[in-house]
Amino acid sequence: MQETATQEKFGWWRRIALWQKILAGLALGVLAGALLGETASVFKPLGDIFINAIMMLIVPLVFSTLVVGITSMRDPQKMGRIGARTIILYLVTTAFAISIGLVLSTLLQPGVGVGLSFDAEVSANEAPSLMSILINLVPRNPIDALANGNIMQIIVFAIGLGISLTLIGEKGEPVMKVFDSFAEAMYKLTGLVMAFAPFGVFGLIAHVSGQYGLEILLPLAKLIGVVYLASILHVLVIYSGFISLMGRLNPVRYLKGSLDAIVVAFSSASSAGTLPVSIRCAQKNLGVSEGVSGFVLPVGATINMDGTALYQGVVVLFIAQMTGTDLSMMDYGMIVATGTLASIGTAGVPGAGLIMLSIVMAQIGLPLEAIAVVAGIDRILDMARTSVNVAGDLMVTTLVGKSEGELNEEIYNTSRS
């Protein structure tokens, strides 16, 4: 009785689609920040609670989804194909992204005439060797990998466990059932956490927008404009193009279905943190199977950073223009190559791309101290690049799902999002 009364009381709230509520949270957050300035940080705990809650989901959700996905696929060849397609698509889209960044900043010249001084000490990062990355994919201790949230190691262990459960046949069934039910519970919990997303997004954005006044943003307005323009073009032209030409799917549905994840990525600046939301969007809104979304998305959140690559292209040219450095065709090639590698090595956490920038800068001999100029507004750029990173993961997931017959087009075309 009481329950129905409460349900009725909040009926109007329930009738609003989640993406609309999240967007409203975003808009109100910007407003609160603009009106209250730094005082808007009082709302930050709302955002922190939300981020903690989605981070809490990552490890159990990825692990259980992947084990369930692998056991339901039952075909090692198919898994190999999915892996190969995923990696190729991730690399191709990243190369597109960095090229868009380079073309736009060559055309729009955001660094010309910017006279900012820099004197902070920044040292170049050592990029880990390819061999050590490969060796470390295999966890020595899976519990340790789970405890530390090492996504790639968790993926490797989950694939091994999933295959073994399939191979032992009947004996594997009880464990499969446990994982199946555990994964369901994790989906439910993600749904419950997402109900809080509009408030979390509000808190995060109010804090950010209250911190950055025009006096900080204006000198770098052109740089910000180019990064945002390149990001929007990349999503609207390249991703939508891939979805319609390669996937033969309606790109508007892809964009709408990915919106929750894009907004959470924008406000949290963490693609790893957004992972539970991306998995939910892929399955619930875009109709991608557990097997494909459970594999392609965690891999993407770890290695596919199109927005970061694009940002590196723009910022490196910006600094070259600002310091009056002429770049040769070789340098451009170098930026594409090192930018792609640096983006792969970038962790899906706030600010990681800024640190990796030094690798690209060092390669072409630009002064590393110039990074300090961008550091002050990096959060604003991070929000855009993380949104692209997540949108890219969802695009590739949709395409791989479609090509493997693991995409339910009815859900894709009709979900309410």
Question: Judging by beta carbons within 10 Å of its beta carbon (0-12, 13-18, 19+), is residue 192 exposed, middle or buried?
Answer: exposed
Residue type, 363: Q
Which residue, 207 or 385, has its beta carbon nearer to ligand ASP? 385
Task: Tell me which residue has its CB nearest to ligand ASP.
Answer: 353
Which residue, 99 or 343, has its beta carbon nearer to ligand ASP? 343
Which residue, 388 or 407, has its beta carbon nearer to ligand ASP? 388
Residue type, 382: D
Interface positions with ligand ASP (CB under 6 A): 269-271, 305, 308, 346, 348-353, 382, 385-386, 389
Least separation in angstroms between residue 339's CB and ligand ASP is: 11
Least separation in angstroms between residue 179's CB and ligand ASP is: 28
Least separation in angstroms between residue 182's CB and ligand ASP is: 27
Provide CB contacts within 8 A for 31, sequence distance 6+.
none
Which residue, 293 or 346, has its beta carbon nearer to ligand ASP? 346
Q: Do 239 and 273 contact (CB within 8 A), yes or no?
A: no
Q: Do 111 and 317 contact (CB within 8 A), yes or no?
A: yes
- When computed from its CA atoms, the radius of gyration of the chain, rounded to whole angstroms, is 22
Least separation in angstroms between residue 275's CB and ligand ASP is: 10
CA dist 301 and 204 (Å) reads 21
Tell which residue, 150, 385, 389, 393, has the closest CA to residue 294.
Answer: 393
Which residue, 220 or 249, has its beta carbon nearer to ligand ASP? 220
Least separation in angstroms between residue 404's CB and ligand ASP is: 26
Q: Do 210 and 37 contact (CB within 8 A), yes or no?
A: yes
Least separation in angstroms between residue 384's CB and ligand ASP is: 10
Which residue, 160 or 351, has its beta carbon nearer to ligand ASP? 351
Which residue, 71 or 312, has its beta carbon nearer to ligand ASP? 312
Least separation in angstroms between residue 282's CB and ligand ASP is: 17
Least separation in angstroms between residue 374's CB and ligand ASP is: 12
Structure tokens at 256: 């709408």
In this structure, which long-range contacts are made by residues 253-256, counting pairs with CB atoms below 8 Å and at least 24 apart in sequence? 253/286, 253/412, 253/413, 254/286, 254/394, 254/395, 254/398, 256/19, 256/285, 256/417
Structure tokens at 306: 């199109």
Least separation in angstroms between residue 280's CB and ligand ASP is: 18
Least separation in angstroms between residue 307's CB and ligand ASP is: 7
**Strand, helix or coil at 407?**
strand
In the chain the first and final C-alpha atoms are separated, in Å, by 30
Which residue, 32 or 374, has its beta carbon nearer to ligand ASP? 374
Which residue, 260 or 382, has its beta carbon nearer to ligand ASP? 382
Provide CB contacts within 8 A for 184, sequence distance 6+.
none
DSSP string covering 78-107 = HHHHHHHHHHHHHHHHHHHHHHHHHHHHHH
* Torsion angles phi and psi, residue 288, rounded to 5: -85, 145
Structure tokens at 284: 């619930």
Which residue, 165 or 371, has its beta carbon nearer to ligand ASP? 371
